[in-house]
Structure 1
Amino acid sequence: MKGIIFNLLEEQVVGQFGDGTWDDLLDDTELDGAYTSLGSYDDREIMALVAAAAAKLDKSPAEILRWFGKSAIPALALRFPAFFEAPSNARNFLLSVNTIIHPEVRKLYSGAGCPHFRFQHAGDDELVIGYSSPRKLCALAEGFIEGTAAHYGEHVTVAHRDCMHDGAPACQLAVQWVS
């Protein structure tokens, strides 16, 4: 996993819960916390931090990942404004992930292992997103979807219809726009 994800997690934890909480997570996981944005780190480290946060905050790891994804979008929009300026809404942003955003991520962060998304339009107010990644961070994807909608001033619900954690070959996230 690229260090920028660790940097974003640290920012969100410190911003919402304070420096002490981040330090506690590092102590609980016995990690040093020295993550550079361009560095590559073992996926087990992010999962250990998520598990420690879940235990500390009395949440499930999936809840922590959703919170992280949703709360990280404003920081991503500040770091990478071009990704967010061209799309006029959340749907267009989401549809640009495979073709515009992830290729740029791979240029900026050599060796980045980005998930793959498949899109199926299900009417004007629904988009079904297939999520596939060996990391199985579908809850993080849910949070990113919710955060993206909030960034554009939109309201969505995300239904997790199929999940790799339950044996499905890919996750299926149904995004419904709410008026």
Structure 2
Amino acid sequence: LYFLLVAILAGLLGLFWFLWGPWGAAEELGLTLELQLLSFFLTPFAVLLGLGFIALVLHVFVILLAPGHRGLGATATVLCYASGVGLVSAVLPPALGFSGSTPGVFRAAYLVFYTTLMVVVQAWYVVVLVKGLRESHRTTTGRAAAIVLLPMALLLILAGILVIAAIALLALADLPV
């Protein structure tokens, strides 16, 4: 329930700032109000599917790395509570009055601030996941960190391989036959 409330609140804030915020991104992208509302109403289903998938992936690593682990429910619970960290990125920048349409150096300062904030929020999310998995599965901090960081590292490696393959395919497409 906590996870759904956080996801719905984040989706509502995102909808508000996207449609009526100072950025005016919806108008620039040509997105209709109906499409944005549909996206908002589909958010709970999408985040539940995402939660289930991420919980399963993390729990595979819990099984491999934490011998005295508890069930999948403990992993999903940690993910749910850690999701609250993401609300900072949905609330803080608009609440501080920064605007994406602000000209010149203020826009650059906003982009630097927001990017830095996102990095800090993601790092804190990882810390909360590590501590939560450590406590819920009664394992060490090192093992909990490995449970969180190994899937991320594998995903980055896979993304790198896909980028290299795409570049190679594009290069091959330019060769004469």
TM-score between both structures, scaled by the size of structure 1 = 0.29
Flag the structure with more relative contact order, 1 or 2, with Cα contacts below 8 A and sequence separation at least 6: 2
Larger radius of gyration: 2
Return the structure number with greater strand share: 1
TM-score between both structures, scaled by the size of structure 2 = 0.29
